[in-house]
Structure formats: C-alpha cells, structure tokens
Structure 1
C-alpha cells in the first residue's frame, strides 16, 4: 500500500466530483430538500380544508353553529350552496373536501334534541376523514344560543353527524392504488426518456441520426410514441391487480381513466426529454430524474395530505403533473366524476406537456458537441 498513490487517487476523485455539477448538487441539495420538505412543507395536522356550506335554515342559531365549526380552523369556506345535493356535486368534482349541511328545520331539531347538521366528507382521502371528525366535537350548547327560550332555561342538546362517502370503511388501498398509477408512471416515464438522447450519444447512434433527414421535432416525437404504449400497459397492470387484490372500484368511465393516464404519460415523457437534452451521461440523467421524482411523491398529495402544506408549497406543487393527475384519477375512480368536471386539471396537464415538449425541441441539436 503506497499512501502517496492512494492520496493521489483521493485528490483525483474530489476534483472530478467538483467538476461534476450534478453530483455536487445531489451532495448538498438532497439533504437540504428533504430537511425543508419534511420540516416545513409536510404537516399531518390538517387545517384549512376547502369546505362548502349549505345553511338552509339561515337563522341566528345555524349561523352561530357554522361559525363555530369554522373557528376550529379545520375547514375554510370556499363555496356556498343551496342544497346538500349541490355540496355532493362539488365534492364529486373535487372542488371541496368537506360540506356542511344545515337543514331548514334547524330550530325545531334543536328544540327536539335531534341531529342539527351533517358534515359531508370526501372519503377518498382517508386523512380528510380523520380531520372532519373534529367538527363533530363542536360544543352545541355554546355554539347555538337559545333565542326562543328564557335566559334561565338550559338549551336542549343536539349533535353533528359526519357522513363519509366513497370510502366509508377507510381502506387505505382504495386511496393508495389509484395514486400508485401516477407514481409509477412518473418514475418510469421520466427515467425512460431522460436517458433516451444520452443513450444515443453514448452508443454512437447519434452519428447515424445526424446523417438522416430527420428534424428535431420528428426525432423527439418518435422517441415519445413507443413509451405511450408502455405507460398504458403499466396502467392496465396496476388497475387489474388493484381490482383483483384490493377490490379497488372504478366508479367512473374506464375511458376517462386511460385518458387521464395518457395526459400524465405525455407530460412525464416530455419532461424526460427536456432532461435528456441537458444531461451529458445516463448517470446524470438518472440523477436529474431523482430531483423530479422526490418532490413529486412528497408534495403531490400521494403520501402526505396536500391541504396540510403551506400555501407557498402548494403553489410549487401545482407545477408538478402528478398533483393534477392524482385529482383526476381519484375523482374518476373513487368519486365517479368525469374529466369534463375537472377540466382545469386536464388543461394544466395539456399545457405542461406542450411547454416541456417545445423546450425540449428547442434545446435539442443534431450534433455531437
């Protein structure tokens, strides 16, 4: 063992690492990203869930009850409705997670001691069910003043019921399996195309492509098309196993499921191509893919509740295609919604694909340097 030669190898590796910007970024960036995400962005204590309110009674007592629910901080009002049916339609479209329905005979129910209100919950997200249970603990007597009885009387009690839809048994597989479609497609599709152009350079095929009359657009689109079929096959495998092993339902149209998967596949493939135009080697492409996959799985709402994240982090997560796909796939499979009811997420995925593909085509040059 020659310590001088050994030290020379160590110095050589350190210098090579310093020149490799991607590796250097992973050395510093991964601990920083994980620390920030887990310490700041991820919060299991849900607050500010989007809620719709249908106060059919509209009395002083009903308004006081609703205000007391809002005071818990668990929900934040984003929509008003006239009937519980309208609240259910909003939940199905994914516009709200919780609906508060107060019946028109609220005062009579309060006097009789019957059920005063219902909390309608989107049970396709099990974490929302647990947070909504806190609303049933609102103290009725303090929240609802007795405007009819004398001040010396004690107002009769009442209760708030929580009604969960789409997954009342709180089976985690029903919530996880649809999301797994997006996670697996994100991991594989981005990686496959991220190494596509780099692999051509490393194997010496780029010289042959340079000699052909192919345009940059034709080459990029041709690289993407085969992987669309692969992604749809992966989607079919996950759906079949989810239905067979875990009884995961498909309440919406199967065509909408595949259309949503196709939008995510195109978005991920175009993103992978953009990474491929930047990476100098397949190893670098894999490293850059990791920087996309880590925020996607943590911030999209797959592992941790989206509503528990700070607003700034939510705005960042809106850039990720997996965030919008999760809303689409859970809406179609678990709530029976149609893609046309969630057109904003469809539009975002389409625009994302167009922007990423355009950037990839503009950055790609048919040359070896």
Structure 2
C-alpha cells in the first residue's frame, strides 16, 4: 500500500467531482430538500379540508353549529348545497372532501337529544376519514356539547368509497402513479445521454432526423411499456387486494397515458441537461423524492402549507392521483375531473417544447 498512489487517486476523484457541478449541487441540495420537506411541508394534522354544507334547517341554532364546526379549522366551507345528494355529487367530482348535513328537524332533534348533524366523508383518502372522526368527537356549542349517550348520537360520520378504511384501497391506485413516475422519468432521462456515451450520436447527426422526430421517437416506445406496467399493477390490485374499480377502465388507461407522456417528456428534458447517465439518475431522484412526498400519496395534501401546495400542483403525480382515485374509487369520469386532465396536458406540452428547444444534434 503506497500512500502517494492512494493520495493521487483521492485528489483525482476530488478534482473530477469538482468539475461535475450537478453532483456538487446534489451533495447539498438533497439533504436540504429532505429537511425542508419533512420539517416544513409534511404535516399529518389536517386543516382547511374543503367542505360543503347542506343546512336544511336554516335556523339560528343550525347556523351557530356550522360556525362552531368551521371554528375548529378542520374544514373550510367552499360549497353551499340544498340537499345531501348535491354534496354527494360534489364529493364524487372531487370538489369537496367533507359534507355537513343538518336535517330540517334539527331543533326538535336537539331537544330530544337525537342525532342532529351528519358528516359525509370522502373515504378514498384515509387521512380525511381520520380527521372527520376527530371532528365528530370535538366538543361543540350550539347544542352539541352534551354528555352521556346523547353526546354519542350528536354527530354521525358516514364514510363513502372506502368505509372499511382498508389501506390497499387508498394505496394501490396511487402506486400506479408512483411506479410510472419512477420508471418513465428514469428511462427517458438516460435516453439521450446513452446515445452520447455509446457513440450513437454521430450516426444521428448524419441522418436527416429532426430534433422533434428524435424526441417523439424516443417517447413512443416507452408509452407501451408504461401501459403494460399499469395493467400489471391494476390486475394485481383487483385480484390480490380486491381494490374496487367503480369507474371506466378506459378512463383509467387514459389517465395513465397522460401521466406516462408527462413523465417521459420530463425525462427527455433531464436527458438534454445531464452529461452522463449517473447525472441523469441523480436528477431523476431529485424529481422523484418531492413527487412521492408532496403529491398526497404518502402524506395528506390538505395538511401541507399553502405555498407547498402550489409547488405540488406543478408535479404530474399530484394530478394523476386525483384522477385515478376519482375514477377507480369514486366512479367519476375524466370529463368531471377536467382541471387535472388539462394540467397534465399543459405540463406535457411545456416539457416537450423545452426538451426539443434544448436538444442539438451535435457532439459538444
């Protein structure tokens, strides 16, 4: 063992690392990002859940009851409905997470000590169910603060789409998006870099293939791979975990294709920036980590600060989770979830445009 030779190798490695600006940035950026995400962005205590209110009694007591519920900061009323059916339709479209129903005979029920408010919950998100259960146990004014058996009957919680609160029902649809995000971005992230490292770029330069043709040609084969992955996860989820499929199978595949294309174009943009396959893998990890943490797959979206929610809206996985859970669990159609469909289409268009504009058929 020679210390001089060992020192020479160490110096060489440090100098090479110094020239690799992306690696140097990742050394600092990854721990900082994890610290900020786990310390600031992720919060399991849900607040400001979108709620609809159907106050069929419309009395001073019922209005005071609604104000007491809002004062808990667990829910934020965004919809005024006349019937519980309207709340159910809004919940199916993903417009609200919780519905508050006050019956017409509210005052009589309050005097008799019977159940006088019903909370409808979107059970496709287990975290929302937990927040609703806590809300039902909170002491409220306006005739709700009682003791004994009457207190147990004051508020009833009705969970839809996953009343058994099975984790697989919530996780399996989201896993489709997580797997597609990880594999599709990585596959295309190394696509252009691999051409350079293998010496194939010289052949591409000599051909009349345009930048747009090359980029689109790189994307299309992986679309089929992504659909195969979707089929595997979907089939296993239905067979092994008995995850319901309440919506259209066609809409499930359309939503998956939107995410696949969005992730592939993001991977292409990464490949135009990375100088090696290792750099492409680093940048892919840098994208994948916030996607899985901020999209609502692992931690409740409603518990994040408003600024972080705005950042999460840029991630394709956030919109796909809303689509896939809406279609599979709530039986909604893509036309009812058109905002998230449009977001994925816009993301794809922007990423593809940037990738094509950054790519040049040259060796330097």
> Could you tell me which of 311, 314, 321 is aligned with 1:326?
321
The alpha-carbon distance between structure 1 residues 74 and 145, as it changes in their structure 2 partners (threshold 3 A), is: closer
Q: Corresponding residue for 1:309?
A: 304
Contact 1:136 1:160 in 2 (8 A): yes
Structure-2 residue corresponding to 1:240: 235
Residue 216 of structure 1: aligned partner: 211
> What does residue 142 of structure 2 align with?
143
| Equivalent residue number for residue 16 of structure 1 | 16
Contact 2:174 2:321 in 1 (8 A): yes
Matches within 5 A, 1:6-155: 6-139=6-139, 142-144=141-143
Taking structure 1 as the reference length, what is the TM-score of the superposition?
0.95
Shift of 1:145: 8.9
Secondary structure, in 3 states, of the residue corresponding to 1:50? Answer: strand
Q: Supply the distance in 2 between the matched residues of 1:362 and 1:145 (Cα, whole angstroms).
A: 62
Q: How does 1:256-335 map to 2 (within 5 A)?
A: 256-335=251-330
Instruction: Tell whether 2:15 aligns with 1:2.
Output: no
**CA deviations over 1:188-231 (Å, ceiling 9, x no partner):** 00000011111111111111111111111111111111100100
Give the whole-Å Cα distance in 1 for the aligned partners of 2:165 and 2:359. Answer: 48
Q: Tell whether the 8 Å contact from 2:174 to 2:325 is kept in structure 1 after alignment.
A: yes
The match for 1:361 among 348, 356, 360 is 356
Q: CA RMSD in A?
A: 1.3
For the residue of structure 2 that corresponds to 1:16, the secondary structure is helix
Deviation by residue 1:126-178 (Cα, 9 ceiling, x = unmatched): 111011012212435x32399xxxxxxxxx86511000000010000010000
Q: Which runs of 5+ in 1 are unaligned?
A: 147-155
Q: Aligned equivalents of 1:122 and 1:172: distance in 2?
A: 14
Secondary structure of 2:256's counterpart equals helix
Distance 1:165 1:12, change over 3 A: same
Which secondary structure state, in structure 2, belongs to the residue aligned with residue 143 of structure 1? Answer: coil
Q: Report if aligned partners of 2:247, 2:329 keep a CA contact under 8 Å in 1.
A: yes
Per the alignment, in what secondary structure is the counterpart of residue 82 of structure 1?
coil
After superposition, where does 1:152-167 map in structure 2 within 5 Å?
159-167=154-162
| Deviation (angstroms), 1:8 | 2.2
How many equivalent pairs are there? 359
Q: Deviations over 1:246-297 (max 9, x none)?
A: 0001100000000000000010000000001111111111111011100000
Q: TM-score, normalised by structure 2?
A: 0.96
Q: Which runs of 5+ in 2 are unaligned?
A: none
- Pick one of 167, 170, 186 that aligns with 1:175: 170
Question: For residues 8 and 359 of structure 2, what CA distance do their matches in structure 1 show?
Answer: 38
Q: Is the 8 Å Cα contact of residues 144 and 154 (structure 2) preserved in structure 1? A: no
The answer (yes or no) to whether the contact 1:64–1:144 under 8 Å persists in 2 is no
Asked if the contact 1:62/1:144 (under 8 Å) is kept, the reply is no
Following superposition, the deviation at residue 12 of structure 1 comes to 1.8
In the alignment, does 2:194 pair up with 1:199? Answer: yes
Q: Deviations over 1:80-139 (max 9, x none)?
A: 111111111111111111111111111121122221011000001011101101221243
